[in-house]
């Protein structure tokens, strides 16, 4: 088994719905995302997937979806209250409370696999790990 990892950064606002501390306030992070792709065999060039393609396809889609936007849990009442943010697609209602753990799991199980499939990337290539750094010192990892 071979693995490649690429790092990417996005800036995103969120709040943790029903958190009893300061994380319930709307705030933002400069998130660092580590994405690991794995495969049992390499392509004819000796690659799993060109790092440039990882950036363009997978992180391009992530930029479009989450960068400089506000992530809120879809049951959070703020979703209905912040209608002005919905008008320009600044607000993204996600089906999970946007903790680093849930973001990593969603990216690993749903978001990145869908982008691989939509772009007809070799079926042997799969997402094996996603780490979401909320700060330099605090991060969560999803692993297949």
3-class DSSP string for 61-80: HHHHHHCCEEEEECCCCHHH
Q: Which of 23, 29, 53, 101 is catalytic?
A: 23
Annotation says 134 is catalytic: yes
Annotation says 68 is catalytic: yes
* 3 burial level (CB within 10 Å; 0-12, 13-18, 19+): exposed
Structure tokens at 74: 């879809």
Q: Which of 19, 27, 68, 118 is catalytic?
A: 68
The set of catalytic residues is: 23, 68, 134
């Amino acid at each position: 088994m071979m693995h490649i990892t690429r790092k990417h950064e996005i800036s995103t606002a969120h709040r943790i719905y029903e958190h009893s501390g300061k994380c319930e306030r709307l705030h933002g992070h400069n998130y660092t995302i580590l994405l690991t792709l794995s495969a049992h065999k390499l392509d004819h060039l000796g690659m799993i997937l060109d790092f440039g393609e990882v950036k363009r396809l997978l992180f391009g889609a992530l930029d479009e979806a989450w960068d400089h936007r506000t992530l809120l849990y879809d049951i959070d009442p703020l979703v209905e209250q912040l209608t002005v943010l919905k008008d320009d697609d600044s607000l993204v209602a996600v089906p999970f409370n946007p903790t680093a753990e849930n973001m990593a799991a969603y990216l690993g199980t749903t978001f990145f696999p869908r982008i691989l499939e939509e772009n007809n990337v070799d079926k042997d290539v799969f997402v094996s790990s996603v780490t979401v750094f909320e700060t330099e010192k605090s991060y969560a990892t999803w692993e297949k």
